[in-house]
Amino acid sequence: MAQIEILTEDARWTDAGLAALAETACNAALAELSLDGDYEISLLACDDARVAELNTEFRGKPTPTNVLSWPSEDRAAQIPGMIPQLPDGAPHELELGDIALAYDTCAREAEAANKPLKDHVTHLLVHGTLHLLGFDHINDPDAALMEGLETRILAKLGIEDPYRV
């Protein structure tokens, strides 16, 4: 079960019920992978300006984005399309990392896709949690694995496949 510490810089996230969404989404991702330790995730609930600063600093991209993540360890699989080296619950592996969400971008994307904000944010939290666990979408095999997991997790939460056209 994930222990999620939320730093709220934008009060709109409180109004959106982010704490409950994060608990549901992050724990669903961990459960799908049979991870039942007391894992820790730090979540920054902010706006586009803050995420743009972080995106510039860490990725060299001076624009906002919906979600950013910083895994505490490199868990990436050595072979594209394979499951990453998941944490085994050892004390040094309990801290999974940090996720940041930009309210403005998330709300714009949800509206443009005609989706409830809570569904879109749940997807992004699942996505961010999977990144913390070593999943990625840099190449086609990794993207197929990650998107398949996201779709399966979201379906269990009653949320439509975000990748279906």
Residues comprising the binding site for Zn(2+)? Answer: 127, 131, 137
Binding site membership: which residues? Answer: 127, 131, 137
Using only the alpha carbons of the chain, give its radius of gyration: 15
Ramachandran assignment for 38, one of left (phi > 0), alpha (psi -120 to 50 degrees), beta (any other):
beta
Backbone angles phi and psi of 140, in degrees to 5: -60, -45
- 22 C-beta neighbours (distance < 10 Å), count: 25
Write out the DSSP string of 99-136.
EEEEHHHHHHHHHHTT--HHHHHHHHHHHHHHHHTT--
